[in-house]
A and B are shown apart, each in its own frame.
Chain A
């Protein structure tokens, strides 16, 4: 294997600077799984249609199965594993648990990352905006109504000003 086909890339992965040696034809999805043991982004259709392999590149959602690893050199990559802070789930993750926005959970990492991009752009999305953003995230269990409720709940949890129901108490919360 000549080095024309191989290169070392450096990028930020879930907040940590990392390096990887990748073949030019490998996708970021393959590298996340092989070199970093991250399986939250997983291949399902392999054609950019289903959303299960979603990762954020510089804050933008992409299909990991259609994104060359060589293109993430210098980029900031976030996978679903990078959302929680230790044991504390990200508000979007809490909302999905609270509203049971899933059944089997296979598509959930992709749906959650897509929701992250959506709420970054539209903090209070309409149903239409939610459907528009998530139209490329297929849920074979068809948990769609619960997913939409979960996205709305996530929008509330991420904006304390609109929070009417703070939700179940979490581990570590203090009694007031």
Chain B
């Protein structure tokens, strides 16, 4: 790793003031689990890292929102999230996914903000949070703004967070009682490996028909994304194997898969087909 300046501001205002809108070699660091790997691989050579660890008091924890739903501080560790009773009650699909997201040591240190800001298309939580309708609040000297989860990651390691912005928290809306949710993580190596393909689904049913549907994939394309054609094919359909197979075909047709060490593009397309079907079925 190269030498860099490390600053540890005590307040969020000081932290955003230490960022530089025009210099991407100045960056925030939270748990550092992703950044250290990038620095070791010389993919990133910072001049200054702005550590957020002294902000834990304000930006850590899972809180009930007065209007329903949860507010999760950006510095909440993935372990805190995995163990949170509030998260388990509101979105068990998140708690379950965390158990195979990396390993206990990484989760003990990695933060939700770092997870979302990293922009790696292989992350497990972005597709799930997209289907749950989550939003991210980012702050800068210019004020705060909201980013819908589905607009956060724009390309391969590219996010819509500006150089001088920080994620402050993530808002998870209350879920309707009839929402079916599932995340199907397919790993080609160990159980807690990065996903080869991840598929998140969310749908509602009434009178035996699907009334609303959201479906997102991760690890298969250059960024995590919702698949509108697959979602549309489900609405009005029966929640049965035939509809799930149609949606799976629509998903497989819609994507431009990106090969990586866990699978070729053709393989990823087939795995998306299989795991969309399974996710919809298990969500039942």
| A residues adjacent to B (C-beta < 8 A) | 1, 4-5, 7, 23-25, 27, 46-49, 51, 54, 60-63, 65-68, 70-71, 114, 117, 132-133, 135-137
Contacts and interface: CB of A to CB of B under 8 A. Distances in A.
A24 B103 contact: no
B4 interface: yes
Binding site of A, secondary structure by majority: helix, strand, loop or mixed?
A: mixed
Interface in B1-35: 1-6, 29, 32-33
Contacts, number: 80
Contact of B105 (A23, A51, A71, A132): A51
A148 B102 CA distance: 20
A133 B36 contact: no
B108 A61 contact: yes
A54 B49 CA distance: 24
A136 B103 contact: yes
A166 B2 CA distance: 52
B105 A27 contact: no
Nearest to B36: A66
Contacts of B37: 47-48, 66
Contact of B1 (A25, A54, A135): A25
B104 A136 contact: yes
B161 interface: no
B105 A25 contact: no
Nearest to B100: A135
Contacts of B254: none
Contact of B104 (A27, A49, A71, A133): A133
A49 B3 contact: no
Given A63-B109, A68-B29, 19 more contacts: A5-B4, A25-B2, A25-B39, A46-B40, A47-B37, A48-B33, A48-B106, A49-B103, A62-B105, A62-B109, A63-B33, A63-B106, A66-B37, A67-B32, A67-B36, A71-B51, A136-B103, A136-B104, A137-B103
Task: Count chain A CB atoms within 10 A of each CB in B37, B49, B99, B105 and give the residue with the most.
Answer: B105
A135 B105 CA distance: 10
B103 A23 contact: no
B32 A66 contact: yes
A60 B53 CA distance: 16
